[in-house]
């Protein structure tokens, strides 16, 4: 995916993704098809829940991974950073996702009671793809952006 300014967000390599949403008297249904509703082939799915409101997670960036984050229940906030930009995005709509491309620093916080964060990822888990030290991140990201 090319490096570009986000749709619905302010930062490069990030975007809000609106999914199709079927809503009738029986309830809600949101279908997500790999490559159709996501800007990459989905190879891995994981979810995060049971996070205390005072805890934060993330504090890293990915070198190559593309992801879409969807808050299925409750709400949470994500602080996004690049060397020159910073933005806080709230996720609370299960019919909407947040695309995060490579080299975006992320910190998830302010999880509400019962918050569930579903993540669709473009690749298998690979610890070598993580940059977990913010100073190392800044060095690599300055060359990237």
**Residues at the contact surface with ligand T46, assessed by CB under 6 A:** 44, 46, 48, 57-58, 67, 69, 106, 119, 125
- CB 26 to ligand T46: min, Å: 31
| Nearest to ligand T46 of 13, 67 (CB atom) | 67
- CB 22 to ligand T46: min, Å: 27
Active site residue 21: no
- CB 24 to ligand T46: min, Å: 32
Q: Pick the catalytic residue: 21, 28, 59, 60? A: 60
| Nearest to ligand T46 of 22, 125 (CB atom) | 125
| Nearest to ligand T46 of 29, 86 (CB atom) | 86
- The full DSSP string for the chain is ----BPSSSSSBTEEEEEPP-EEETTEEE----TTTTSSS---EEEEEE---TT--EEEEEESS--EEEEEEES-EEEEEE-SS-EEEEEE--TTEEEEE-TT-EEEEE-PPTT-EEEEEESS---GGGEE--HHHHHHHHHHH-
Query: Which residues participate in catalysis according to the annotation?
Result: 60
């Amino acid at each position: 995916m090319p490096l570009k300014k986000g749709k619905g967000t302010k930062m490069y390599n990030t975007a809000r993704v609106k999914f199709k949403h079927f809503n009738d008297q029986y309830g809600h249904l949101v279908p997500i098809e790999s490559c159709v509703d996501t800007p990459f082939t989905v190879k891995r799915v994981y979810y995060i829940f049971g996070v205390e409101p005072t805890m934060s997670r993330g504090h890293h960036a990915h070198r190559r991974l593309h992801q879409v984050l969807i808050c299925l229940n409750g709400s949470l906030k994500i602080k996004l950073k690049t060397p020159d930009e910073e933005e806080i995005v709230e996720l609370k709509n299960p019919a909407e996702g947040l695309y995060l491309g490579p080299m975006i620093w992320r910190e998830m916080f302010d999880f509400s009671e019962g918050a569930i964060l579903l993540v669709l990822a473009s690749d298998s888990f690979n610890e070598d793809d993580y940059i977990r030290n913010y100073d190392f991140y800044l060095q690599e990201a300055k060359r990237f952006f």
